[in-house]
Amino acid sequence: MNALRSEEIYTIEDIYALPDGQRAELIDGRIYYMAPPSKTHQRISGKIYQTIANYIDSNGGKCEVYAAPFAVFLNQDEINYVEPDISVICDLSKLDEKGCHGAPDWIIEIVSPGNKPMDYFTKLFKYRNANVREYWIVDPAPQQIMVYRFEKETMEQYSFGEDIPVGIYEDFSVKIQ
């Protein structure tokens, strides 16, 4: 009889033990190493972050926005740790010096060529099951944005240059160039 080979389950402790500068995420005990972001990725991330931060500041909002690298302990367990490109957290009790413990209200991931399946499938289901309220996938190659509003069970597709309404706010939209 052949014994089934079990895959090793990693924990957040293993993420923190990585060499300095090595970034990785942990999903259901599996480590996913992250390549450094491109110039385009960083430009898009910076502009989106700036737009959201300006909106929150000018409206006296209680939510906070964070850009990667920022730790999100998604399920408050030892086998899930992600670093979304942008996280918006409205329940400030989830925040401490280590990061966000539990699901952010809004997560934005900017697709890199090597991580399409991760953003479009693995993280989509992980974020939905963790009760993230809204998830955007910004894909620079086809210049499209997929917007998932899990509370309303809707999915919409937008193109760069269009005003995209933000589901967690009633009077806010973002235009990605």
Distance CA 153, CA 136 (A): 14
Is 8's pLDDT higher than 90?
A: no
| Percent residues over pLDDT 70 in the chain | 97
| Token code pair at residue 135 | 């998830």
Looking at residue 115, its pLDDT comes to 85
More confident residue, 1 or 35: 35
Beta bridge partners of 87: 66, 107
Is 7's pLDDT higher than 70?
A: yes
| Token code pair at residue 26 | 């942990």
At residue 161, φ and ψ (nearest 5 deg) are: 95, -15
Give the mean pLDDT of 40-56: 97
Give the mean pLDDT of 82-100: 97
Identify the DSSP state of 130.
T
| pLDDT tens-digit readout, 120-159 | 999 999 999 999 999 999 999 999 999 999 999 999 999 9
Is 3's pLDDT higher than 60?
A: no
At residue 8, φ and ψ (nearest 5 deg) are: -65, 140
